[in-house]
Structures are given as C-alpha cells and as structure tokens.
Amino acid sequence: MTKHTVTITNRSNTKYEVDSRRPLLDALREQGVDLPYGCKYGGCITCAAKLTDGKVDQKRQVALNNRQLSFGYVILCVARAKSDLTLEIGVESHDKLYRNPFLDPLKQHELKPDIATSEEI
Amino acid sequence: MECCGPGYSSPQEAIKAPNEKLLYTIAIYTGTGIQKPDYLATVDVDPESPTYSQVIHRLEMPGIGDELHHMGWNACSSCHDDSSMSRKFLILPGVRSNNLHIVDTATDPRAPRLHKVVDGAEIKGKADLSGPHTVHCLGSEIIISFLGNAKGEAPGGYLQLDKDFNIIGRWENSMGNIKFGYDFWYQPRHNIMVSSEWAAPNTFMPGFDLEEVGHLKYGRELHFWDFEKKKPVESFYLGEDGLLPLEVKFHHNPDSTHGFCGAALSTNVIHWWKDDTGNWKWEKVIDVENEMHPEWPIPLPGVMSAILISMDDKYLYLNNWLHGDMRQYDISDPHNPVLTGQVFMGGLLGKAPKVNGVEVAGGPQMFQLSLDGKRLYVTTSLFSTWDNQFYPEIREKGGVMVQIDCDPVNGGMKINPDFMVNFGEEPNGPSRCHEARYPGGDCTSDIWL
C-alpha cells in the first residue's frame, strides 16, 4: 500500500495521509475534510479542486476541458494520488473553473480531451 | 360530476380553483460553496397573510450535493376519476446524486415532510439510469426522464415507479435512434408523447462549453412517441432553428394536437401539430434575436430555458435568461403568436439590475403560473454550474423569486411591487431557488385523459 501526503493550502496547510488506490474525495472526507461533491463518478465537476503541486491519476474524469486541466483542476471523486500533493479545495479554488463562453471562447485544443484537436504550432 | 380523485375534471374547472396560498420551490446549496443540503422551501403567497412573500418552512434533504431541479406530483388530474388516488406526494429528483426524494405535502401543507428516498445507486443498479429530470404521473404510476445511463452517457431513458415509489424498471420499450433526453409531455387522446433533447449529464453537468454544440454534444431534435407502444415513431431534425430544444408543452385541452418547444440556444419557439392528413408538422413561430453585449466578441442569445402555457391555452410565456426578459405571447392562433407583454428582471444586458429594491443576480429562468392565469412566479437560477459561468455574483447574492401580474383578458405583464422573496437572505446563506409548484396542481403538472 502506497501512502502519499496531501497538503491543503487553503485549510492552514493541514496535511493528510492518503492511500494511492483510493479516490481523494473518499480518503479526505473520511479524515474529516468537508468537501463538496455530486455525482461521484467524475462527470459533474462539483468536487473540482486545484492541484498546485504533485501528480494524480484521473483518467476516469470526463468533466474537465483541456483549459481547466491546464489550470491544474482535478476531480477528487475519481482522482488518486501518484505523489505527494498540494491542493486548494472547495469553491475558493474555482476562480478559473468557470468562464462565460460568449466572453471568453475556448480554442479547439482547449475543448474536452475526446474532441479537442492538437494545438497548432 | 363530483369526483374524489385528485385535480380537476377539465382545464376549465382548474381555472376556477381558489387562488394559491402556498407555493413550493426547491432551493440549492450545491455548487455554492455552502456545505448544506438542498431544500424544499414553502413560500407564503397569500396577500392577506402576515408572512406573505416569505419562506415559512424549509425541508432539508438528507444528503449534500443532490442539486434539486425539477419536481412532479405522484398524481394529477389524469387520476381525477380514481377516488383511491390523491395528490399527496411531491417527487424531488437530485440531478447529480440520482436520489429521488418523495415528500409528503398533504399531512401538513405548510411543513412538508420527507416520506421516502429512492436511492440513486439502486436506480443505477436496476435501471442503468442517471441524471433525472422531468416527472409525470401516468395514471397511478410515475415516469421520470433520465438524461444518461449510470455512467452519465446519453441518451438515458425513462424510469417507471409504482404508486408506492418502488422501482418497476425502464418504462420505454425502445429509445430508437434518440441521441439525447430531457423533457417530455403526453396527450393521451392522441396516443402521443413528445420528448426533447439537452445533452448527456457528462456534458451539461460540468457547465456549458458553447463550443461543444458544434461537436454535436447538444441536442437539436424533437421526438414523437407511440405512447402506448412506448417507442419513438418519428423525429424532427430542427437544425440551427432548434439548438437545445428543452421544455415541451402540449395545449392543456386534451383534444388538441398543438404543442410548443423552447429551443434554448437558438432562442426560438417551435410549434407542432397534426395536420388534416394525420401527419405531424413543425414550424418556428417565435425567433428572439441575439443581442450584442458592448464588450463581448460573440452575440448573446436570449437562452430560452423554459416555456409555459396558461390553463386556457391562450398565452405562452417564455424567458430569456441571458437577456433578462420574460415575455407573454397570445397564441390564440398557434401559427402566429403575438407579443402582448414583456418585463425585465436581471440579465446580462443591464436593463433591470434591481427589482423591488433587490439586486438581481441571474435572469428570469423558471416560472409557474396561477391556474387563473393572473400571477406568474419567476425565479432566477438555471443550474449551479451554468449560474457560476454566466452570473458568478449569484454566489454572494443568491436567487430571488419575483411575481408578475398578468392580464389574462387583454394581455400585459407588470411586476408586483409587494412581492419579493430574496433567497440571498436565507438563514444558512445565499441559496438559489428554481422550479415552483402549488399544492393543488399547477400549469405544468396536470394532464387530462
């Protein structure tokens, strides 16, 4: 069993140990971290958090587009730690998660991974 | 004929019902940053009451993160002849959690209580469905449209419950070639059901990527069903005129074949009817022009997320969530609607930032009309993630409920200066109200056999 340390910067840098096989949402909630969530299968974005350092496996998420991924967003209900992590959680971390598409359109390469085209060079 | 079942013998009888005194609306904390359950709010709408225009009761759901959205009754006028049935339970689906909350509103109408929860995981396991939306009763049983399978992929299907809210299974015999689900309405005398298309839960739940419309991730078709055979028989491709066809409404008159759909992104009203040769036809009858925002590169559509038909079938109401206006059209000639009323409340064009002294975050979104057609109750939140994109200030300000006085004889709309429910001042912090219903049935619930 591999353990990693998660540091939550917007909760006074509190540290938690998590099992790399378990979704971060479950592992952190069990230790008393109050986290928003909805669908619990990686589709609805409610539990999004911002990863500022470290690596996760979130192959199962289908909610984030490439722009949101490039800002470091992770879907906690399906993401698992691959290293020690530094996270910002809750809606305070959602400053770059939402955008008005009429004001700020996505480029083709910023769409969700299943429909994005590769960035023009 | 005096009858003991729920509802009314006809739309004409429904119009004569006493004025509504209470109204239920759901209010959400999902997506707001406040870690509290969503709830069902009881609003006092009796002008003679000392608590008029206030939330007088809050029923919290057992869990956090449901995203309550639409709701429906266990029974309606379709059971008017069945004295064993009563309109006692309101069904509140959680779009994100998949849970169905069954709420008893009859024992104490002012203080509804939770009767039962149909577990979202059980629905996934038994019926492979997620993302519940529209609830209609079906004689003594209930069907609910779900927008996805258990993994949130389109097109989903329909869940059937028995009158005690046990899962029977899938209602439909086939989804045919339908790509997406959303709303539905049926007209039993013509053995017809019409369904519309939003998107897969995995597409719409995270928010609205406009760019995905061009990648065919959002719907643009209407589907006509053989209601008894429970399968689609004809589909209309609406194209650019029908992007995101959301709410579908038939005339209340059970003999009529006329119905309407609001295409949200195209901001058009689509009208359908059966012609003299027995064929279903469709046409665009209302087209709300896009508006330019002075600082934005892309023209702004109205986003017509809801439509409603008055109980006398004379008026159609629609919203433009992003422009900020509610409109009333005379549809006496359903082929040629005439604009008869318009008011602004909120919106992105800055035309009515304040209503009755309260700053409005959001725009007109869901609405419910009194049975007599005189009082229209309008709320401002669409869906938590979409709110957060277009109206980020709604986090701090919450939603509001406004009441518009409507003239059902000559047409016209005017905001009632004495009514304002500010969900920004709720005890647990700003929440967002959405669909509303009355204890005795309303203009979006009842179907006549």
In chain A, whose CA is at the least distance from the CA of B210?
Answer: A101
| Nearest-angstrom CA–CA distance, B335 and B341 | 18
Q: Is residue A116, in this structure, part of any structural domain at all?
A: no
Strand partners, B226: B192, B231
Contact list, A91 vs chain B (CB under 8 Å): 31-33, 395
The per-residue pLDDT for A120 is 57
Q: Is residue B448, in this structure, part of any structural domain at all?
A: no
- Overall number of domains in chain B: 1
Confidence of residue B3 (pLDDT cuts 50, 70, 90): low
Q: Is residue B1, in this structure, part of any structural domain at all?
A: no
Q: Is residue B230, in this structure, part of any structural domain at all?
A: yes
Q: Is residue B87, in this structure, part of any structural domain at all?
A: yes
Q: Is residue A16, in this structure, part of any structural domain at all?
A: yes
The domain of A97 spans: 3-110
In chain A, whose CA is at the least distance from the CA of B290?
Answer: A102
* Nearest Cβ partner for A105 among B33, B65, B211: B211
CATH assignment of the domain containing A7: 3.10.20.30
B130 touches chain A (CB under 8 A): yes
The domain of B206 spans: 11-437
Considering only B55-59, B74-78, B308-312, B315-319, which range has the smallest mean pLDDT?
A: B74-78
Contact list, A112 vs chain B (CB under 8 Å): 209, 212
Torsion from C-alpha of B113, B116, B120, B121, nearest 10 degrees: 140
Share the mean pLDDT of chain A.
Answer: 95
Helices (H) and strands (E) in chain B, counts: 5, 30
| Nearest-angstrom CA–CA distance, B177 and B180 | 9
CATH assignment of the domain containing B270: 2.130.10.10
Q: Is residue B442, in this structure, part of any structural domain at all?
A: no
CB B373 within 8 A of CB B408: yes
Q: Is residue B101, in this structure, part of any structural domain at all?
A: yes
Contact list, A97 vs chain B (CB under 8 Å): 207, 388
B125 touches chain A (CB under 8 A): no
CA distance B410 to chain A (A): 37
- Overall number of domains in chain A: 1
Q: Is residue A120, in this structure, part of any structural domain at all?
A: no
C-alpha closest to that of B311 among B48, B17, B14: B14
B201 touches chain A (CB under 8 A): yes
Q: Is residue B5, in this structure, part of any structural domain at all?
A: no
Contacts by residues A95-100 (CB-CB < 8 Å, ≥ 24 positions apart): A96/A50, A96/A68, A96/A71, A97/A45, A97/A48, A97/A68, A97/A71, A97/A73, A97/B207, A97/B388, A98/B207, A98/B385, A98/B388, A98/B389, A98/B392, A99/A67, A99/B389, A100/B296, A100/B389, A100/B390
**Tens-place pLDDT, residues A37-79:** 999 999 999 999 999 999 999 999 999 999 999 999 999 999 9
Confidence of residue B295 (pLDDT cuts 50, 70, 90): confident
Pairing state between β A3-8 and A85-88: parallel
| Nearest-angstrom CA–CA distance, B253 and A23 | 52
Contact list, B303 vs chain A (CB under 8 Å): none
pTM, two decimals, is: 0.96
Q: Is residue A117, in this structure, part of any structural domain at all?
A: no
Q: Is residue B444, in this structure, part of any structural domain at all?
A: no
The per-residue pLDDT for B140 is 77
Q: C-alpha B392: how far from its chain's center? A: 23
Flag whether pLDDT at B380 surpasses 50.
yes
DSSP state at residue B211: G
